[in-house]
Amino acid sequence: MHNGNSHTTLKIEGMDCASCVRHIENDLSKQKGVTKANVNYANETAEVHFNPAEISQEQIIQTVKKSGYKATSKDHNMAEMHHGSHQSHEDHSAHAKAETNQAVKKRLSKLIFSAIASIVILILTFFWDPPQGPVIMLILSLLVIVISGREFFEKGIPNLLRARPGMDTLIALGVGAAFIYSSYIVLFTTQTEEYFMDVAIITTFILTGRYLEALAKGKASEAIKKLLELSARVAHKLQNGKTIDVPIEDLQKGDLILVKPGEKIPVDGQITEGNAVINESMVTGESIPSSKKEGDKVIGATINGNTAFTMRVEKVGSETMLARIIKLVEEAQMSKAPVQKLVDKISAYFVWGVILVALTTLFVWHSQTGDFSRAMIYTVSVLIIACPCALGLATPVSIIVGSGRAASLGILIKNAESLERIHKVTAVCFDKTGTITTGHPEVKEFFSLKGVEKENLALALALEEKSEHPLAKSIIDFISTKKSIPTQKIQDVKAVVGKGITGKTDKTEYHFGSLKYIKELKIDLSDSLKKIENLQEKGQTVLILSDKKEIKAVFAIQDTLKESSKEAIEALKKRNIKPVLLTGDNEKVAHAIANEVGIDEIHAEISPEQKVQIIKDLQKENHVVAMIGDGINDSPALAQANIGIAMGTGTDIAMESGDVVIVKGDLKKAVEAMQLSEATLRNIKQNLFWAFFYNTISIPVAAIGLLNPMISSFAMAFSSVSVVLNALRLRRFKVK
């Protein structure tokens, strides 16, 4: 362990903006022995690489605590999971989810209390003026600060003392100054100008934004939870001639287990007895289910077809394909750099500037007039008018409206960063099955070579109705569209695993299967081999009907292209975006589909890990990469990409790993999402410009004494309203 290569994963609590990330990373990087610190704001984690000979994990945790945040180690839970216990990781996942829900509920209760108190104060300010009104407002606003707004003071004031003022600092100073001054007015003077309404409303505004953010963050760990749900819970272990059900975490390498029809395969291993047709699309991306025989490898969490088989366990726990995909998703989520928002970059300087102006105002007015009360009024005016409500709202309101408009267009956008970032994409990687294609194979071509066409169709139908092969459905669907097909009786029907099916009529024996199967039967192919090879060149799967001597008919099956795919890829090319095809399917099929839609760069027959590597290579070439996919096998790639776009017609895990979900699986929606992203970012920039412009004009006006705090509070409210009204224009966004 003492080789300088150790790393620890920490759960961080108390981060409120991207500047918190910068503070923690800077503090950790300064520590001797820390080689790299990567803090992820979105999922509240930090990955720290360190030399244990120079610094301990406990010292790293203490460094984070000194920065003003809470840190706890996640390594214990991770170690349990990677040593083979799915159960422990599920428990951890459930515990993390419960913690997140608790945090969201806590935020909501604070917000509700603050909102109710604000409504009462508004009534007392404008509609009802009892003699004890000011005292009631003082008590209510104090409760708002203590119960709902305490976090602003707990973080803002210590950060000010550390010379790191942020948004919390300005809120604490503005709200605190307004409260202290108002309390002084009510308790020690006969004046009536108090600002308790500002205290309550500012607090409520900001808590609303933070509650919405906490809700979004709660989704971060869902992807891993969905992956865990894929694994089987129980395995049928063969022991002393009996079958006993055991939890899959009790399986060991070398165990023999029975897999029944329609079940999930518990772990990775090898078939020892029996044959199977297995749907592996969720792991390999292969559109057509795989036929397996004795000696073939099978993958955990894939779905067995209609036959039982026995297998030997070869990989358990963290070694299985599913566990590796979980690890890839976790690592990709961790490695995403936090987006440094414009407002966070400027806020540090802005806050120092406001504090300086406020202190100057207090000093100058007091020294010039000797009237502390007057100097205090003008100082509070500066702090209230500069309170970053408009700045704080500028980004989130545009994001909320933009993402709402996206939802009405059938595009679900998971987080603010994604909505801001989509339009910057320069390369789009596509999965094939279920993304560019429908994922439902169909008979594309059929020709009858010998005998009567209707009789050949009847023979094919009779055989395929008894077949368990997934492609049988496409043959049956095709033949059922034909009129007046005679009924054909067939006996002794047998499946030839991985090759085809055979059966007899009164007169002769018939075979129906792959080109390889027909060649093995030594049936004459000379007349039609060229035609069959041409079909295969087009990326079609060929099934042949023959008797003992000659070919009777040929069916060519292909996964169909989605109507919108070609148009969407043309639209991306017009935006100078590079399309790339990544698929687990074979080369011929991949090239046929790519040629049809206009994709030049093709990577076929690749694993989930290879998809991630190709995306990393594109990122090294300075591409901003979007990945569009729909299967479990796409989830690591969706997480690694700068933007993961998941098809809503696909698996839950793909939808959880994606930053964006296209509800109906229409690729044109990806282009619409980019257009909406541009419109939203333009709106955010307008909001920020007006928010800064408003502060630039109003702060000096307040400082020279031309605004009292009441006018300042209205002006501040107006600036916030103007930002919201501008953001609402996004509701009228039209697709170009």
Active site residues: 431
Tell whether the torsion through CA atoms of 304, 310, 315 and 317 is positive or negative: positive
Instruction: Render 569-630 in DSSP notation, one character per residue.
Output: HHHHHHTTPEEEEE-SS-HHHHHHHHHHHT--EEE-S--HHHHHHHHHHHHHTT--EEEEE-
In angstroms, the CA 105 to CA 110 distance is 9
Cβ atoms 554, 542 nearer than 8 A? yes
Cα–Cα distance, 524 to 163 (Å, whole number): 86
Helices (H), 409-520: 416-421, 453-464, 472-480, 515-520
CA angle 104, 105, 108 (to 5 degrees): 90
Q: Are 211 and 104 a contacting pair, CB within 8 Å?
A: yes
Which helix (H) or strand (E) segment holds residue 579: the answer is: strand 578-582
Token code pair at residue 137: 């407002």
Q: Is 86 helix (H, G, I), strand (E, B) or coil?
A: helix
Query: CA-CA distance, 476 to 487, in Å (whole number)?
Result: 13
Question: Tokens 């984690």, residue?
Answer: 45
Closest Cα partner for 516 from 553, 482, 543? 543
Other beta carbons within 10 Å of 241: 5
Contact 586, 606 (CB under 8 A): no
CA angle, corner 538, sides to 534 and 539, nearest 5?
Answer: 120
Residue 217: name the closest of 414, 22, 74 by CA: 414
357, two tokens = 């102006």
Helix, strand, coil proportions of the chain in percent (round to 5)?
A: 55, 20, 25
Q: Write the secondary structure of 118-137 as one string of H (helix), E (strand) and C (coil).
A: HHHHHHHHHCCCCCCHHHHH
What are φ and ψ of residue 427, in 5° steps? -145, 135
Cβ proximity of 647 and 630 under 8 Å: yes
3-state SS class at 661: strand
Looking up tokens 């939870």 gives 225
Alpha helices of 189-277 — where are they, by DSSP H?
Answer: 196-217, 222-230
Going by C-alpha positions, the residue among 689, 8, 67, 68 that lies closest to residue 390 is 689
Task: Report how far residue 681's alpha carbon sits from residue 425's, in angstroms, rounded to the nearest whole number.
Answer: 14
Q: Bridge partners of 40?
A: 45
Helix (H, G, I), strand (E, B) or coil at 266: coil
Angstrom distance (rounded) from CA 424 to CA 419? 10
Cα–chain center distance at 48: 23
Distance in angstroms (rounded) separating the CA atoms of residues 399 and 422: 13
Residue pair 285/431 in contact (Cβ under 8 Å)? The answer is yes
Strand 427-430 and strand 578-582: the pairing is: parallel
As a whole number of angstroms, the distance between CA 76 and CA 63 comes to 20
Closest residue by Cα to residue 225 from 72, 398, 89: 89
Quick one: tokens of 84? 């083979």
